[in-house]
Chain A
Amino acid sequence: MSTTPWQTAEIPGPKRGLPLHRCETLISLLNNSKNPLLIIGHKAAEIDLGNRKFIDYLIDLARGRTITVVATAHTIKELTNRGFQNASSMPLMDIANRLRDTEWRGIDGKGAYDVVLFAGFPYYMAWLVFSGLKHMSSQLKTISLDGQYQPNASWSIQNVSPLELEKFFVNLLEKIGEM
């Protein structure tokens, strides 16, 4: 495990996010959130975690905690194919641009998000989006779940192997199930 940026050159500067070592930290961040959002990128449907895809764990997480889901790029189709109907579709640039706007009332118009989870993105693209939000929307807590440390997120799972990421999610979902 490491908290150096996954892509070696992606060093941001003085303001770096905290490592998310344990799934309990994530649960507590979600417990303290009034209105969390999960944004799922296209790679979530490509990455294998054991004999499931990453996206399957993310769906379980969204269901377990009733988190609003936004799918970017063509990911919505993957969610629908898996029977998950409760998601909106929006390009990553659009959702990031909405999130930096403190006036924005959310997908459903019911209020701003306070904690935003990201998963399934090209590392460098998410790196920039986290940077945009870090600088332009500092009230927002951003969390990277990709298992590739994102220094610009408020919290990020560190650089872990697919096996370790799988364990993290199995553990997380177990804990959520017990709640």
Chain B
Amino acid sequence: MKKRNIELDIKEMKTGFGLMKDIKLSVGGISEKTADQQLGPTPFPSSTDLREWDMKLLERYKPFYMPFCDLCCLCTFGKCDLSDGKRGACGLNMEAQQSRIVLIACCIGAATHTAHGRHLVEDLIKKFGRKSALDVGGTNVEILAPIIQLVTGIKPRHLGDIEDILDYVEGEITQLLSSTHTGQEGSNIDFESKVLHAGTMDHVALEIADIAQISTFGFPKSDPEAALVDTGLGVVDSSKPVIMVVGHNVPPAIGIMDYMTEKDLSGQLEVCGLCCTAHDITRYDPKAKIVGPISWQLRFIRSGIPDVIVVDEQCIRADAFEEAKKIKAPVIASSSKNCLGLKDRTKDPTDEIVADLIQGKALGVLILDPDKVGEVAVRTSLGIAPKRKKFKNLPELDELILEAKRCTKCSECRRSCPNDMLIPEAIDAAAGGDLSLLNDLYDVCVGCGRCEEACPNDLDVHSFIVKAAEQKIKNEKFKTRSGRGAIQDVEIRKVGGPIVLGEIPGVIAHVGCANYPKGGEEVAEMIEEFAKRRYIILTSGCAAMSAGMHKNEDGKTVYESFPGDFDAGCVLNVGSCVSNSHIAGAAIKIASIFAKRNLNANYEEIADYILNRVGAVGISWGAMSQKAASIASGFWRLGIPVIVGPHGSKYRRMLLGRKDRDSDWEVYDARTGERDYVGPSPEHLFYAAETKEEAMVMMAKLCMRPNDTSRGRAMKLNHYIDLHKRYYGRMPDDIHLYVRRLSDVPITMKDEIVRILDQKEWKEKNIPDPTILPRMIRKKER
């Protein structure tokens, strides 16, 4: 890799110039005019440059640790027992160990997105050149890289520019990971600050990856009317050869589509995807189909429908190759990060590879050239489909019943099932010919296959569930709006005011994986409820697909029911995991475009603005991966709270506010410098909800911000109270903390609330121009 002199130039920027207008700035390979805004105080921040900001957040939102294990086993000094306040052989205590594990998870997540971005950008530079222009929405999107600009101060224009920013991110992640070595960082709070930095690096990487692919592949450019794409197992036409693509790095899947177009084969094959590759291939060509989220992998492979399976990177089952062998479908691995033990055939003649795969001489191959993957996959699927005849790995009905009779009701399957499902009872009913209980399990099953691994009698429990739900699967026919990418500047201008004043009650982003406690339907239900209440709803990743995989009583999915604009009462899918950058980007752009705050390298001020004014909440109901952890931590640092589903408690650390401690909720009034109590808004930064109902009430509550106008606050309170009454059957007990003036009280509930305020001896409060940064105070205290 080329060496670049970023560090030197950063110092020059910090000390040399206050106002930078039209000054040529050289950061290694980047040559760029800065915007006509002042360069903020923290260009290319190191892990300690934003530490003070982190400490402010962590002081209010203190970590609560729930260790997964009493031990630390990270070095050969150990294992060390850290229970009961004991320290390990290196002196580390349990809090520090837990925060270290969180940091390791976030470094894994950030490294994964960064490596993905690097891989993508290198491929794209090879194809399109370093000078290829970045464009995510034409003139509708002037600020095309808000995160990069906020963090580095650089406004990238060309593909080559972002390559340089990747250098910086890679360097920071290495620094962060190194601090987890034995005998390095010893304070849990400093580990937590580094977690937040890992999140920021992750967000930069997300943005790099998505703006690069949007610009070059012709994905929808900030298009509210991006295509509605066929979604679900039932939409795949199994009479044709089928290529299944799975993972996150889309170039190999694009190689497939391009080869089909080149050879005029479109319409003769089905290309369908799982996980984020599915999102991105449909952004490239909406004729491709989405099978479903990560949890659909096992069931789809076992259905026998795919003739060729192409895996790229991230969130792919490690046993995909083993499963593929059982249905006689060849596997093409296409990423250096996921070689599956397969022979590298990248340099072999294509004819030979295709022949080997069709004849079964090779059951799988590694090809590290996306275009070659495209040709091999298409030609192999055409050749092998007539031979395979959709050979499946699911039992026939009579076999299932016979097998079920071998069950000894030992409960090992249930005790391995993440959702503690009543599997033995369902198997018992199946043994008697009643498949209805197994069929019911399908809706909640996350497709992990642990039940089968656990069964001492080798019963294929997951396959039984899939077989029992056969009819339901055939009807899995839905529509997901293809990922639209960035939010337009003009949309921000339109809704920025209503959001900041609280008149749009909130922005809610459903993101992340599919590790749901009670099936994906809950995601669609939550979205429908809040879209009807005129919140702005964003989706991405597996959550975006799950949202599209359920129909309301009118027979429509949320994408068919609500428009795809960034506006009140709309539901927009930004796209894949890396498109989460546009969600953070939208919050940043509200501060920059609407409020005209300086964006360049001005992290603290913008995050302070978002924390106090932008009523945005992330929800990751099925969060599972390390990437989900790093994405979340990028949001925390920006002052955006994240709610996870009950399985998210396994991230083993929450960031929780204490609404019973008044002093935690004081901010400065930027006008006077006085300190004002603003109530617990937002109450938490990271929080696992036990049920969908709890999550919904909390979502409404976490949208409140100190800056809300009375009209906005009244509206937000109205939703919070209404949901609370519906699900909890009573008034919330903390209303008095959120009413600042009587004009905040929703008019229809006035009498009831005023009575409560009297009981609580409530007093009217000032509504400040809120900030937690002393430097933002305009009139200094004398």
Q: Chain A: residues with CB nearer than 8 A to chain B?
A: 6-9, 11-15, 41-42, 72-74, 76-77, 80-81, 88-89, 91-94, 96-98, 100, 121-125, 128-129, 131-132, 134-136, 138
User: B97 to nearest A CB, angstroms?
Assistant: 10
CA A128 to CA B64, docked complex, whole Å: 11
Instruction: Kindly identify which residue among A8, A94, A132 contacts B415, using a CB–CB cutoff of 8 Å.
Output: A8
Instruction: Kindly identify which residue among B420, B454, B694, B733 contacts A74, using a CB–CB cutoff of 8 Å.
Output: B694
Given contacts A42-B691, A73-B693, A122-B420, contact A8 B412 (CB under 8 A): yes
Q: Are B690 and A76 in touch, CB under 8 angstroms? A: no
Q: Are B729 and A122 in touch, CB under 8 angstroms? A: no
Q: Are B67 and A131 in touch, CB under 8 angstroms? A: yes
Q: Other than the known A14-B83, A122-B420, A132-B66, what 13 A-B pairs have Cβ atoms closer than 8 Å? A: A7-B415, A14-B81, A15-B84, A42-B691, A74-B728, A77-B729, A80-B729, A91-B690, A92-B688, A93-B654, A125-B649, A132-B67, A136-B94
Q: Are A138 and B84 in touch, CB under 8 angstroms? A: yes
User: A42 to nearest B CB, angstroms?
Assistant: 5
Q: Chain B: residues with CB nearer than 8 A to chain A?
A: 64-71, 81-85, 94-95, 412, 415-416, 418, 420, 454, 517, 646-647, 649-650, 652, 654, 656, 658, 660, 684, 687-691, 693-694, 697-698, 727-730, 733
User: A69 to nearest B CB, angstroms?
Assistant: 14
CA A42 to CA B693, docked complex, whole Å: 10
User: B307 to nearest A CB, angstroms?
Assistant: 35
CA A84 to CA B10, docked complex, whole Å: 64
CA A98 to CA B727, docked complex, whole Å: 23
User: B644 to nearest A CB, angstroms?
Assistant: 10
Of listed A14, A81, A91, residue having the most chain B CB within 10 A = A91
How many pairs of A and B residues are in contact by the CB < 8 Å rule? 124
Q: Are A76 and B728 in touch, CB under 8 angstroms? A: yes
CA A94 to CA B61, docked complex, whole Å: 12
Set of chain B residues within 8 Å of A8, measured between Cβ atoms: 412, 415-416, 454
CA A93 to CA B656, docked complex, whole Å: 8
Set of chain A residues within 8 Å of B691, measured between Cβ atoms: 42, 73-74
Which residue on B lies nearest to A10, using beta carbons? B68
Of listed A76, A89, A128, residue having the most chain B CB within 10 A = A128
Given contacts A93-B656, A123-B420, contact A136 B65 (CB under 8 A): yes
A-B contact pairs, 24 of them (CB 8 A): A8-B454, A12-B69, A12-B70, A13-B69, A14-B83, A41-B690, A72-B694, A73-B690, A73-B694, A74-B728, A77-B727, A93-B656, A93-B688, A100-B64, A124-B649, A124-B650, A125-B690, A129-B649, A131-B66, A132-B65, A135-B65, A135-B67, A135-B70, A135-B83
CA A14 to CA B418, docked complex, whole Å: 24
Which residue on A lies nearest to B79, using beta carbons? A13
Q: Are B690 and A77 in touch, CB under 8 angstroms? A: no
Set of chain A residues within 8 Å of B70, measured between Cβ atoms: 12-15, 135
CA A89 to CA B64, docked complex, whole Å: 20
Given contacts A15-B84, A97-B658, contact A131 B690 (CB under 8 A): no
CA A91 to CA B82, docked complex, whole Å: 28
Closest 9 pairs (CB-CB, A-B) = A13-B70, A77-B729, A132-B66, A128-B66, A74-B693, A73-B690, A15-B83, A73-B694, A73-B691
Q: Are A13 and B83 in touch, CB under 8 angstroms? A: yes
Which residue on A lies nearest to B415, using beta carbons? A8
Set of chain B residues within 8 Å of A7, measured between Cβ atoms: 415-416, 420
User: A81 to nearest B CB, angstroms?
Assistant: 7
User: A147 to nearest B CB, angstroms?
Assistant: 12
Which residue on A lies nearest to B732, using beta carbons? A89
Instruction: Kindly identify which residue among A72, A81, A88, A100 contacts B729, using a CB–CB cutoff of 8 Å.
Output: A81
CA A135 to CA B86, docked complex, whole Å: 10
Which residue on B lies nearest to A132, using beta carbons? B66
Q: Are B730 and A76 in touch, CB under 8 angstroms? A: yes
User: B440 to nearest A CB, angstroms?
Assistant: 14
CA A17 to CA B697, docked complex, whole Å: 34
CA A132 to CA B83, docked complex, whole Å: 11
CA A82 to CA B83, docked complex, whole Å: 40
